[in-house]
Structure 1
Amino acid sequence: MLARFGWVTRSALATALLALGGCGGTGNEKEEVASAEPSTASPSSGALDAAVAKVSDKDSADKPAHLVTPDRAVDPKKLVDVVEQEVKGGENASPSPESILWLPSDQSKIKDEPLTVKVPKGLSPLILNVNVPAANPLTKGKFELGKQLYFDPRVSLDGTISCATCHNPEKGWTDQLSVSVGIDGHTGGRSAPTVVNTAYGKTMFWDGRSPSLEGQAQGPIQNPIEMGKQSYEDIVLRLRAIPGYKDQFEKVFGTDVTLDGMAKAIATFERVAALSGNSKYDKYNSDGDLTALSESEKRGMVLFGLRLRGDDEFKTNVALKKAECTSCHTGSNFTNEQFHNIGVGWNAEKNDFADYGRFVISPIGSKNNSELGAFKTPTVREIEKSGPYMHDGSLKTLEEVVEHYNKGGNPNPSLDKDIKKLNLTDSEKADVVAFMKALTGEQVKVELPTLPPGTDGKIPDPHAALTPPPVKAAANVFHPAVQR
């Protein structure tokens, strides 16, 4: 039987200190940081060393645990303080000037008006102070500005990568790649999560290190493997040189271009545009159209964990919640916004995880072994379009996803208590997949914007950045919170 994790070695604690939580994306991968103290458990210490309490079936629960340092081909000196780098503005040496990050607003210059959004059926309204921050109310000008920034490759260092490169509305707001490809064809260690319905999200990124869309927008733009090794000052000054952006920022925020305004505009666009509802399930559940779902989809719905409408006399002849999906995929957006270890990325031979997930960014004093290898529950809406699946893109199809859960995940010391063998039949597995596909909805249609011309008079083509660059070099070194 697999034992629980006992302690974490001094090396693990030291490297875990590199990410104490906060908002934004990943930081820069600087060459030198303070290396962790070597573990006393082994002369060869790897990054994020974890002391694994290996207890055999015959060992008693109160027997002292044996500390084991996993063998990891990772250089601790390559690790970075994700949060520190983002707070500093992405620089390796000094932070960006405050005037780059934020400026006081001249209200007399603002020429904008509120934006009213009618959300698709099945979703709750976008309400200020509920799922729209009080500091960033929805406005028409902000939405249009955010749309341009979202599709503008000039936000990246070499003008090749935009937000839409990895989060393409036509691909379920992802890039449909196992791991995302950034500037110069470099790859990270995680798959791009969908932006769909993130308006309702409590945290962003697979590890939840950002508390808002505004925070998330600040990360990728200064991540060296996503949009290039650049500071916020580099980005803001580049945009300030574009007259069209200077004019829009003045009308929307009453300021020059700032990081604060960029984050708010991009978040507004994502909050409004990346909405999906009015699926076959919503037509059945909300409209009462009993014919909206097929018999297979109805069986899958019950297996998933949802009851049929009271006026539906169809007999599914399957056990309610046999697939255990609603243990995590709950609510109108089909996610509990929590973090779970389902065994993805666990290497039984090395007795270690490829990615420590939520555990890395939890503050010291709040760390829990249950967070090892745990990642955020994604929405199931638009799931048909957002594969491959899991944080590492290791499962290519929904059929593979269902089979992963059916076998009880990959056993490991921190496996979530709700993950267990399901004993689904082949037909039941097919029915669950059919229901998940019935959650493909009516997305807001996004037309590519016309971008403001640069100082050279040229207008970038946003369509060109929708195709990720060819892979040049994979990230061979695991980074505890490398992109997404």
Structure 2
Amino acid sequence: MRRYLGAIAPLFGTVPLLLALGGCGGTGTEETAKTPAASPEAKPETPAAKGSGKAELVTPSRNVDPKKLIDVVEQEVEGGEASAGPSPDSVLWLLPNTSLIQDEPYQLTPPLGLPSTLAGVVPASNPLTKGKVELGKQLYFDPRVSLDGTVSCATCHNPEKGWTDSLKTSAGINGQFGGRNAPTVINTAFGRTMFWDGRAPSLEGQAQGPIQNPIEMGKQSYKEIITRLRTIPAYQEQFKKVFGTEVTLDGFAKAVASFERVASLSGNSKYDKYTRGGDLKALSDSEKRGMVLFGISLSSDDEFKPGVTKAKAMCTSCHAGFNFTDENFHNLGIGWDEKKNEFADLGRWAISPIGAKNSAELGAFKTPTVRDSSKTGPYMHDGSLATLEDVVEHYDKGGTPNPSLDKDMKKLNLTPSEKADLVAFMKALDGEPIKVALPTLPPGADGKSPDPKEALEMPTAKAAFNAFHPGFVH
């Protein structure tokens, strides 16, 4: 999921190893440029043409115009949030008829290592309820929110793939590729902003961007999307019971955010069992050394002598707290072209308000969580680093030099064994598996229900298949 216009805050602190492991985004945050103004990246691989060679799948251009980095449909969205435009207010929101609501609170106990309650992060405007979470789950997996009925939220944020898609940059409608890596949804309940550039102020805000992004789910207005969902009788009935209204964008965003908030919580990792559960044997010797290098002290009851310098890798400077992120934005040099003296993606700078542009924000992206990072590769906002080992190497060399590189980025001089220990510790942050059963989607007016599993197939593969089977209907 992807985008938003956020308030500018102080952006730079000490930069550690591992600033940009994964993140929040989807197929990307750029529209294909009419006049490319930034260096092109390598095109992602697509299924190769086989057999007779009658057709060939062509990967859309990923040249990016920095002036068009924010996903917007003209007069429909401002920075990712719905605003006055062609869609009437009755599509965006409706006053509720509370007599119609039939719902009850959703009870949740977060896993070990996370706060004991979500009370501090659930907005007052969107309390958790059973019906809302269930409705959000259906909408999250329903491909009918996309223009051609092939792409769902889960296409790019599949729970079985660490709530990502395992691609360098994600494929959207018609096999189009965006320019950013799909960030994980894991523990976004605790995020202060969403998307790699932090333009969304909440999960509710984030949910409004991808569904009308031309590359991700198609160039469609909110009116088109909500009108389509209103033709599904079960959704009409569920919205009345949950929100006391017809289907609206407000309800859609709240339902999807509620599902993501409770379904993607990751905890009870080996690290949590060691630090919170009192199990001193939960971590191996290598993981303990990596933990110290990362910047975290061993338990005072642990007699193990790690023999390494604490915080040598400087990771906790930004990957701090229970969710291992400072929720801030940093320039690591990813995407810098030395020959052209420019970034392929301007990052946080692009969404800063006029009058608040700061060159320190050029090429700066949000610090992602390290939890479950072994499941969320490839890494960085552009998916340019394939493995955790590659990420460690990038930080060990001090990042990529550029005019806006964070002042605290420097060579770490880690030994091969220290690098291995760091990777071992990061893998020890993997939580217990999150199982999400696919929902049964309600039938439309035609009596037919889509199979949510089909939308989990890469759009590139669908495009390749259709190129050689033009008459086939999924």
Provide the TM-score with structure 2 as the length reference.
Answer: 0.83
Letter of the structure 1 residue corresponding to residue 91 of structure 2: I
Counterpart residue number, 2:109: 118
Aligned to 1:97, which of 88, 99, 119?
88
- SS of the counterpart of 1:442? coil
Structure 2 counterpart of 1:449, from 439, 444, 461 = 439
Could you tell me which residue of structure 2 aligns to residue 469 of structure 1? Answer: 459
**Separation in 2 of the partners of 1:82 and 1:93?**
13
Give CA-to-partner distance per residue, 1:6-62, whole Å, 9 cap, x none: xxxxxxxxxxxxx9647x988895999xx9xxxxxxxxx9479xxxxxxxxxxxxxx
The sequence identity of aligned pairs, in percent, is 69
1:60 maps to none
Distance 2:88 2:29 in 1: 18
Paired residue for 1:239, among 223, 226, 229? 229
Whether 2:333 is the aligned partner of 1:334: answer no
RMSD of equivalent CA atoms: 2.8
With over 3 angstroms needed to count, the CA separation of the structure-2 counterparts of 1:21 and 1:291, relative to structure 1, is: closer
Unpaired runs of 5+ residues, structure 1, are 1-18, 36-44, 49-71, 474-484
Moved over 3 A (4+): 19-22, 24-32, 45-48, 72-85, 87-94, 125-128
Counterparts of 2:280 and 2:67 in 1: how far apart (Å)?
59
Q: 1:387 aligns with which of 377, 395, 402?
A: 377
Q: Deviations over 1:441-475 (max 9, x none)?
A: 024421110110111111110011111111799xx
**Inter-partner Cα distance in structure 2 for 1:369 and 1:355:** 13
Question: Whole-Å Cα distance in 2 between the matches of residues 92 and 141 of structure 1?
Answer: 27
- State the match for 1:355 in structure 2: 345
Q: Tell me by how many angstroms 1:417 deviates.
A: 2.0
How many Å apart are 1:77 and its aligned residue? 8.2
Alignment-derived partner of residue 278 in structure 2: 288
- Partners of 1:87 and 1:260 lie apart in 2 by 15
Q: Distance in 2 between matches of 1:89 and 1:375?
A: 17
Q: Deviations over 1:350-372 (max 9, x none)?
A: 11111000001011222221110
Structure 1 residue 106 corresponds to structure 2 residue 97: yes
Q: Distance in 2 between matches of 1:88 and 1:433?
A: 36
Question: In structure 2, what is the equivalent of residue 127 of structure 1?
Answer: 118
Work out the CA distance in 2 between the residues paired with 1:89 and 1:307.
41
Q: Following superposition of structure 1 onto structure 2, how do residues 363-382 of structure 1 map, counting pairs within 5 Å?
A: 363-382=353-372
Q: CA deviation at 1:95?
A: 2.1
In the other structure, the counterpart of 2:188 is: 198
Q: Aligned-pair distance for 1:396?
A: 0.1
**Residues 239-295 of structure 1: CA deviation (Å, up to 9, x unaligned):** 100001000000000000000000000000000000000000000000110110000
SS in 2 for 1:375: strand
Structure 1 residue 85: deviation in Å? 3.9
Q: 1:187 to 1:338 in 2, by over 3 A?
A: same
Return 5+ residue gaps in structure 2 as ranges.
8-23, 40-61, 464-474
Task: Give the TM-score normalised by the residue count of structure 1.
Answer: 0.82
Distance 1:245 1:30 in 2: 34
2:220 corresponds in structure 1 to 230
Secondary structure of 1:380's match?
Answer: coil
In 2, distance between residues paired with 1:127 and 1:357? 30
Structure with higher RCO (Cα < 8 A, 6+ apart):
2
The structural deviation recorded for 1:143 is 0.2
Deviates more, 1:92-101 or 1:325-334: 92-101
Aligned to 1:42: none
CA distance in 2 between partners of 1:302 and 1:88 (Å): 40
Tell me which residue corresponds to 1:173. Answer: 163
Q: Does the 8 Å contact 2:76/2:221 carry over to 1?
A: no
Asked whether the equivalents of residues 76 and 85 of structure 2 are also in contact (C-alpha less than 8 Å), the reply is no
Given that 1:156 and 1:162 are in contact with CA atoms closer than 8 Å, whether structure 2 keeps it comes out as yes
Distance 1:328 1:100 in 2: 41
Which protein has the larger Cα radius of gyration, Structure 1 or Structure 2? 1
1:93 Cα shift? Answer: 11
1:363 partner amino acid: P
Change (3 A) 1:423 1:160: same
The number of aligned residues is 420
**In structure 2, what is the Cα distance between the partners aligned to 1:79 and 1:354?**
11
Q: Which amino acid aligns with 2:393?
A: E
